[in-house]
Amino acid sequence: MSRALTDDDLARFQAQLCDVAEVMFAERGAEQVSIRQIAAALGVSPMTPYRYFASRDDILAAVRIRGFERFAGQLEAAYTATPGDAAAKAAAAGRAYLDFALSNANTYRLMFEQHQQEDGSDSALGRAVARARATLSVYGDGLIGSGMAEAEARALELLIWSTLHGAVTLELAGTTPPGSARQTLALLGRLGMRA
């Protein structure tokens, strides 16, 4: 008789399934990966993943939630651990952004190149997206705190985020040389100090 699975056993298998699915989704595109393929890669029966997830979209959402949570945690830690003013904290968050994106390319692509209906909802995925988005607002918050109009601060924040995202995406694609995203962040920092 087989032993009953503990909560830890279940969590371990779900994490393993998400690890495998993340790589497959990133390499092939989420639409091109079936639950049957994920099961085969794990060496389990085709029905086993259905014990944990109702659909491929649920697996994709779980992978993205994990990514957004890790991403937000890394940015929050960098921001809170950095002494100094809002500019120093925002620069630390920018470095953490690049560290995460460049070290977790598959996850980063799935987080920002996929969109699911729940991204803007109050679901677990929606809350993870909102948390990550809030970590990207630290620069705008600092500008508002120093007296800049909110609309202008948020527009500048979006410009900086778009620039960083573009620099990361180009570097991950091999279009720009390694280190170019960090050079872009340094230039943004220098330009921001003059503003």
pLDDT 10s digits, 127-184? 999 999 888 888 788 888 888 899 998 998 899 889 999 999 999 999 999 999 999 9
Record the pTM: 0.85
Q: Exposure pattern of 53-74 as b/e (b: 16+ CB <10 Å)?
A: beebebbbbbbbbbbbebbbeb
Q: What is the mean pLDDT of the chain?
A: 88
pLDDT in tens, 61-86: 999 999 999 999 999 999 889 898 87
Whether 64 and 17 map to the same domain: the answer is no
pLDDT band at 193 (very low <50, low <70, confident <90, very high): very low
Report the CATH number that the domain containing residue 74 is assigned in CATH.
1.10.357.10
Residue 3 has pLDDT above 70, yes or no: no
Expressed as residue numbers, the domain containing 76 is 60-194
With beta carbons less than 8 A apart as the criterion, state whether 94 and 189 touch. yes
31 and 68 both lie in a single domain = no
Same domain, yes or no: 96 and 170: yes
79 and 156 belong to one structural domain: yes
The CATH number of residue 24's host domain is 1.10.10.60
pLDDT of residue 27: 87
- As for how many domains the chain has, the answer is 2
pLDDT at 113: 84
pLDDT above 90: percentage of residues in the chain: 54
